[in-house]
Amino acid sequence: MDCSGFSRWIYSLAGGSDLLGAGNTDNQLAKMKKTSSPKPGDLAFFGKLSDTHHVGIYLGNDKMANAPYTGVNVRIGTVSSHSDLVGYYTLGK
């Protein structure tokens, strides 16, 4: 499972339906609203605004759960370990 698949799966479990839908991180970002005050459960996107390449689920205190790439176990890491944070996003437009 890759990062977008992981976030999609977690949001489906939490929301009871496929809230993020199929696609990559750019497709997910289009369904989100940027927030300057992230809360646990919000998504942290990385890359460029028009070309994201990674997403993690924000846990608070600079921590995130993410699937680094297909075939690797889900990990808890830090948001700040990535130099290309696009921003934090919450569900809804």
Phi, psi at 23, each rounded to 5°: 125, -175
Q: Report the chain's C-alpha Rg in angstroms.
A: 12
Q: How many CB atoms lie within 10 A of CB 85?
A: 14
Catalytic residue among 27, 61, 66, 82: 66
Catalytic residue among 3, 24, 53, 73: 3
Residue 73 among the catalytic residues:
no
Strand partners, 60: 63
Catalytic residue among 54, 61, 73, 82: 54
Residue 3 among the catalytic residues:
yes
* Catalytic residue ranges: 3, 54, 66
